[in-house]
Amino acid sequence: MTDADFDFDLFVVGGGSGGARAARIAAGYGARVALAEEHRYGGTCVIRGCVPKKLMVYASSYAEMFEDARGYGWAAPEPGSIAFDWDKFRAAKDAEIARLEGIYRSGLEKAGVANHACRATVTGPHTVRLADHGQEISAKHILIATGGRPFVPEFPGSHHVITSNEVFDLAELPKRILIAGGGYIACEFACILNGLGVETTLIYRGPEILNGFDQDVRPFVRAEMEKKGVRVILSQVIDRIEKTDAGLSAALTNGETVVADTVLFATGRRPYTEGLGLETADITLAPNGAVPVDRYSQTSTPSIFAVGDVTDRLNLTPIAIREGHAFADTIFGAKPTAPDHDLAPTAVFTQPEIGTVGLTEEQARADYDVEIYRAAFRPMMHSFSGRDERMLMKLVVDKGSRRVLGVHIVGHGAGEMIQCVGVAVKMGATKEQFDQTVAVHPTAAEELVTMRTPVGAA
Q: Which of 299, 305, 345 is nearest to 329 (CA)?
A: 305
Contact between 113 and 27 (Cβ < 8 Å): yes
Q: What is the pLDDT of residues 314-329, one digit of tens each?
A: 999 999 999 999 999 9
Domain map (residue ranges) of the chain: 3-46+90-149+270-332, 158-267, 346-449
**Model confidence band, residue 138 (pLDDT cutoffs 50, 70, 90):** very high
* CATH class of domain segment(s) 158-267: alpha beta
d(CA 359, CA 363): 6
* CATH class of domain segment(s) 3-46+90-149+270-332: alpha beta
pLDDT at residue 457 above 70?
no
pLDDT at residue 2 above 80?
no
**pLDDT score recorded for residue 226:** 98
pLDDT at residue 458 above 70?
no
Domains 158-267 and 346-449 are alike in CATH topology:
no
Contact between 215 and 362 (Cβ < 8 Å): yes
CATH of 346-449, one of 3.40.50.620, 3.30.390.30, 2.140.10.10, 3.30.70.20: 3.30.390.30
**Model confidence band, residue 20 (pLDDT cutoffs 50, 70, 90):** very high
**pLDDT score recorded for residue 23:** 98
**pLDDT score recorded for residue 134:** 84
Secondary structure (DSSP) of 45-69: HHHHSHHHHHHHHHHHHHHHHHHHH
pTM for this predicted structure: 0.94
pLDDT at residue 3 above 80?
no
Q: What is the pLDDT of residues 209-239, one digit of tens each?
A: 999 999 999 999 999 999 999 999 999 999 9
**How much of the chain, in percent, has pLDDT values that exceed 70?**
99
Mean pLDDT (whole number) for 131-150: 94
Burial class (CB in 10 A: 0-12, 13-18, 19+), 380: exposed
pLDDT at residue 161 above 80?
yes
Mean pLDDT (whole number) for 13-34: 97
**Model confidence band, residue 133 (pLDDT cutoffs 50, 70, 90):** confident
Q: What is the pLDDT of residues 270-287, one digit of tens each?
A: 999 999 999 999 999 999
Among 133, 141, 412, 441, the one annotated catalytic:
441
Number of C-beta neighbours around residue 133 at 10 A? 8
pLDDT at residue 388 above 70?
yes
**Model confidence band, residue 77 (pLDDT cutoffs 50, 70, 90):** confident
Residue 441 bears catalytic tag: yes
Contact between 276 and 144 (Cβ < 8 Å): yes
60-245-243 Cα angle (round to 5)? 75
**pLDDT score recorded for residue 456:** 79
**Model confidence band, residue 163 (pLDDT cutoffs 50, 70, 90):** very high
